[in-house]
């Protein structure tokens, strides 16, 4: 699981830049169109959770149950916000799926860590 945490952490940090840029542009379009959608703001929240999750993933790759719980919370919140508030910002669903995958792998790592401790 160390390799997964390192790779997902690096990718999440890289994706942060793309998601943040896209979200700023979507937020600008939402404001100009006055369409009442929150996709841009939700994208910024997802981006912040992604970079935080990426940093935690890299920092705790050697194995810590607390780190796995933090990853579940960070990526879980990002996935829920992404799916719930995407609106016409369809790319946010893609980033929410990425966060959901990371949360699922964190659950697997948590369960594997508990099983090996027994």
What phi, psi does 110 have (nearest 5°)?
Answer: -65, -45
Residue range of the domain that includes 81: 2-112
Residue 38 lies in a domain: yes
Residue 117 lies in a domain: no
Render pLDDT for 42-70 as a digit per residue (tens, 0 to 9). 999 999 999 999 999 999 988 778 889 99
DSSP the chain: -HHHHHHHHHHHHHHHHHHHHHHHHHHHHHHHHT----HHHHHHHHHHHHHHHHHHHHHTTT--HHHHHHHHHHHHHHHHHHHHH-TT-THHHHHHHHHHHHHHHHHHHHHHHHHHH-
Residue 118 lies in a domain: no
Interatomic CA distance for residues 62 and 32, integer angstroms: 46
pTM of the model: 0.89
Hey, what are 51's tokens? 């970079």
- The total number of structural domains in the chain stands at 1
Residue 84 lies in a domain: yes
Residue 104 lies in a domain: yes
pLDDT at 53: 95
Residue 61 lies in a domain: yes
Task: Provide the 10 A C-beta neighbour count for residue 48.
Answer: 17
Render pLDDT for 2-49 as a digit per residue (tens, 0 to 9). 888 999 999 999 999 999 999 999 989 988 988 888 888 899 999 999
């Amino acid at each position: 699981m160390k390799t997964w945490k390192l790779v997902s952490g690096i990718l999440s940090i890289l994706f942060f830049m793309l998601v943040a840029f896209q979200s700023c542009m979507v937020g600008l379009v939402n404001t100009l169109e006055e369409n009442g959608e929150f996709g841009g703001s939700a994208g910024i929240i997802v981006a912040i959770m992604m970079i935080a999750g990426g940093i935690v993933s890299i920092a705790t790759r050697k194995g810590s149950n607390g780190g796995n719980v933090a990853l579940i919370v960070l990526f879980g919140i990002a996935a829920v916000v992404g799916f719930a508030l995407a609106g016409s910002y369809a790319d946010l669903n893609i980033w929410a799926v990425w966060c959901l995958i990371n949360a699922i792998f964190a659950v697997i790592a948590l369960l594997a860590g508990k099983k090996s401790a027994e």
